[in-house]
């Protein structure tokens, strides 16, 4: 993690005439991001992205911050720590664009980064926000439950399949997503809520209630649970 004093690091960078882009990156990571200055993050990282800047080959960073990394929340369920690379700039810029409401611009950026599971998670969330269900399905073809990120992708695949009128296929994706009980509770709860909605789409109300009650028993304040429970018929 970056834990140096922002002012001190930027002063060192400013002492190198060739380090204008380095200083912009440091200002974004040590100043704008921690203070949640989304507009400044977009300005700084947008410029670096357009410039084609690659932090991994920056001599200043290699000398002074060789182990620097950035913690990034890709979705409410998935957080990662990434090395400082051009792809990390792109993913961070996309998060800033998304938070500012420019979802299409965010997905355009992520489509340009090197394909990876992390990038796929970001894209799946962005495509879903735009109801680009065919893109979500294509992105998640062949995904198996190998880690937390792939479990998230399976849940998004299920949402896309259900939204396109394929609840049976959605349940198969969720079956794979829920195969391993060792996954974090927040992800399991998301999968159970989505499976409940899938059961409701098939008019299997008792099965939907069973899944929602599992979540209720573990976390009654889980986001979206109350809304899902409200969809159940009154007994």
pLDDT of residue 158: 98
Half-sphere exposure of 180 (CA within 13 A, CB side): 13
Spatial separation of the C-alpha atoms in residues 94 and 74, rounded to whole Å: 10
pLDDT of residue 203: 95
- Is residue 150 over pLDDT 60? yes
pLDDT of residue 3: 47
Whole-model pTM: value is 0.89
Spatial separation of the C-alpha atoms in residues 73 and 35, rounded to whole Å: 15
- Is residue 10 over pLDDT 90? no
- Is residue 6 over pLDDT 90? no
- Is residue 83 over pLDDT 70? yes
What pLDDT digit, counting tens, does each position of 48-63 carry? 999 999 999 999 899 9
């Amino acid at each position: 993690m970056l834990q140096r004093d922002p002012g001190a690091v930027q002063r060192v960078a400013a002492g190198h005439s060739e380090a204008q882009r380095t200083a912009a990156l440091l200002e974004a990571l040590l100043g704008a991001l921690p203070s949640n200055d989304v507009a400044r993050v977009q300005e700084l990282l947008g410029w670096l992205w357009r410039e084609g800047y690659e932090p991994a080959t920056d001599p200043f960073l290699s000398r002074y911050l060789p182990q620097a990394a950035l913690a990034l929340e890709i979705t409410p369920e998935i957080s990662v720590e990434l090395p400082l690379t051009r792809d990390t700039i792109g993913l961070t810029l996309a998060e800033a664009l998304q938070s500012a409401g420019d979802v299409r611009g965010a997905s355009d950026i992520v489509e340009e980064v090197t394909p990876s599971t992390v990038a796929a998670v970001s894209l799946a969330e962005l495509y879903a926000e735009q109801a680009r269900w065919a893109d979500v399905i294509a992105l998640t073809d062949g995904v198996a439950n190998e880690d937390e990120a792939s479990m998230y992708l399976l849940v998004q695949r299920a949402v896309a399949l259900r939204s396109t009128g394929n609840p049976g296929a959605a349940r198969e994706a969720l079956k794979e997503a829920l195969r391993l009980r060792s996954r974090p509770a927040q992800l399991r709860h998301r999968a159970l809520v989505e499976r409940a909605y899938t059961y409701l789409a098939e008019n299997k109300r008792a099965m939907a209630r069973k899944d929602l009650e599992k979540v209720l028993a573990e976390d009654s304040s889980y986001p979206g649970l109350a809304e899902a429970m409200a969809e159940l018929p009154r007994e």
